[in-house]
Amino acid sequence: MANLIIHSPILIIAIPLLVAFLTPLIGRASGKARDVLVVASLAFVEFLVIILARDIYLNGLRVYTLGALSPDLTIPENYIVPIRIILEADSMSIFMAIITATVSLAAAIYSLSFMKEETGQDRFYTLLLLLAVGMFGMELTGDLFNLFVFLEIASIAGAALAAFRTRFADTAEGGFKYIVISSVAALMVLLAIGLFYAQYNLINIGALAHVMQYTMLDKIALVLLVTAFMMKLAAVPLHMWCPDTYSVAPAGITIMLVVASYACLYALFRTCFTLYGVCLNLTTVGWIVIIFGLLSMFIGVTMAVFQTDIKRLMAYHCISQTGYMLLGIGVGLAVLDNPEALNAYGIAAMDGGIFHIINNALYKGLLFLTAGALFYRTGTRDLNKMGGLAHKMKWTTIFYIIGALSISGIPPSNGFASKLLIYESVYQFNPILAIVAMITSILTLASFTKAFYSAFMGAELPEYQEVREVPKSMIAGMAILAAGIIFFSLFPGLVVDRLAQPATNALINRGVYINGIMGGGG
């Protein structure tokens, strides 16, 4: 068991990678065996993530040096800087890995039935696992260049999956937008890595943070990195690709793309807090993040109100929910060098923002899956053509209600818990920001109520006489996420103390992360 924990950082990445290339081989022999293998490997990864998370909570961060005599030997003898590939998992990275593992598992189980009628399923699962590998890699790596490589892996797999159902006319368009925006973003990241390497001859995040001078070139690199991650995050005004891609991707993949964008959110936090940290002009950068957040929050929700395509509507809400996270973290960033304000409300704002990531991954994931279920049975995403589906699809209706209540922040849901944390703390920073956040929440409720009435309520429509409840595996996929929401709603305090708070501390105390690289092994 201890051995398993020591090697778990690399296993979390290596197992899905290996299984990804096994699936076409085994799929040739039997489709059932392949399905079992995919789900089992993701379940095992989920298990590894959880034991690693427990270990990090108890013993602090864990580094894994590839190819070294012992995994914690980050700096080889006779060297003063790390030269090997290093994975570094602290509370923040493992927090993101928990989200990725849970959502990937739910997505894979859901896709078993959802994609049953499609051709090329072997390749579908290969790509799905590669997308998971890309996300885990981004979250666990301690090295900027690996971050770029995993970002590209996730982008290529994600775009191919979004465009997977090529029989539809619009899928290739959605996939193409995703790959274009991803390649531009990734090349900007690579350019920033070049700028760092030119000055410091380093690409390790911890080692770079250790020697960061904040020169003119570093400022250019910061602009490149922040723009690139904001593009991938679909923050307004860089959001144009998001509704198109999310609405055409298969539902199981949409939720993984949402999580992939949060992996970029993680990369953004890592850049701002760990890589630059107190070197930054914190007020300016904090306010830039806050303004991105505000714009995303408000414009996202106002665009959503007018949508008639259910997945497009949810995609716009996704943009708007990302705004809350940026708002919470932005406030924390703006007061990072002011201990008094940080303790008074900065930490609470960041807790709220981070807690909101996992909440949103769960309820937005659940909602996208119910939208997929509606599409699976009715063959349309147009809300105006749906109606009366609550009579036929009871489970889907229940899951939709759970998700909609949670996203609108109705007490006592988990969405309410994280939003309340954000409102309270942001109000002390600047009351106007909190008011915008509340208005957004009201509009969110309005929009989901409208969607609920159009899709589920009313008389049964004659064209949907044949509609039945969706297959079991799709219900199971949704149930995993719904169980998460209910658990988080019942024990929000536990989640904040065990998951969100340590993650916030990991971001604030960049010294710990740097020390994990520069202090170990010697």
Among 5, 10, 14, 187, the residue binding another protein under the rule CB under 8 A is 187
Helix (H, G, I), strand (E, B) or coil at 88: strand
Nearer to another protein, 257 or 348 (CB): 257
Torsion of CA 471, 455, 254, 307, to 10 degrees: 170
Under the binding rule (CB under 8 A), the answer on residue 173 touching another protein is yes
Taking CA atoms, 170 is separated from 162, 167, 175, 314, 320, in Å, by 10, 9, 9, 18, 24
Q: How far is the CB of 512 from another protein (least distance, A)?
A: 27
Kindly state the DSSP code that residue 461 receives in the 8-state scheme: P
- State which residue, 281 or 302, has the beta carbon closest to another protein: 302
Please provide residue 64's backbone torsions phi and psi, each rounded to the nearest 5 degrees.
Answer: -140, 115
Q: Is position 156 an interface residue for another protein (rule: CB under 8 A)? A: yes
Query: Which residues in the 132-151 window bind another protein by CB under 8 A?
Result: 145, 148-149
Instruction: Check binding of 203 to another protein (CB under 8 A).
Output: yes
271 is written with which tokens?
Answer: 């850049």
Closest to 304 measured CA to CA, from 383, 232, 227: 383
Exactly one of 23, 121, 247, 489 binds another protein (CB under 8 A); that residue is 247
How far apart, in Å, are the Cα atoms of 411 and each of 378, 405, 407, 480, 489? 32, 8, 11, 21, 9
Q: Is position 295 an interface residue for another protein (rule: CB under 8 A)?
A: no
Which position among 191, 295, 483, 512 is part of the footprint of another protein (CB under 8 A)? 191
Nearest distance from residue 315's CB to another protein, in Å?
11
Q: Which of 24, 122, 183, 458 binds another protein (CB under 8 A)?
A: 183
User: Does position 152 bind another protein by CB under 8 A?
Assistant: yes
Q: Taking CB under 8 A as the criterion, which residues in 307-366 touch another protein?
A: 307, 312
Q: Tell whether residue 119 is a contact of another protein (CB under 8 A).
A: no
Residue 403: CA atoms inside 13 Å, Cβ hemisphere, count?
A: 29
**Cβ-Cβ contacts under 8 Å for 102 (sequence gap 6 or more):** 46, 361, 362, 480, 481, 484
For residue 64, list its beta bridge partners.
87
Beta bridge partners of 86: 65
Span interacting with another protein, options 27-35, 188-196, 478-486, 511-519, rule CB under 8 A: 188-196
Please say which residue, 124 or 363, places its beta carbon nearer to another protein. Answer: 124
Closest CA to 334 of 363, 291, 270, 296: 291
Hey, which bits of 122-259 come out as E strands? none
SS3 466: coil
Q: Is residue 228 within the footprint of another protein (CB under 8 A)? A: no
Shortest distance, CB of residue 317 to another protein, whole angstroms?
Answer: 15
- Footprint on this chain of another protein (rule: CB under 8 A): 145, 148-149, 152, 155-156, 159-160, 163, 166, 169-176, 179-180, 183-184, 186-187, 190-191, 193-194, 197-198, 201, 203, 243-244, 247-248, 303, 306-307, 312
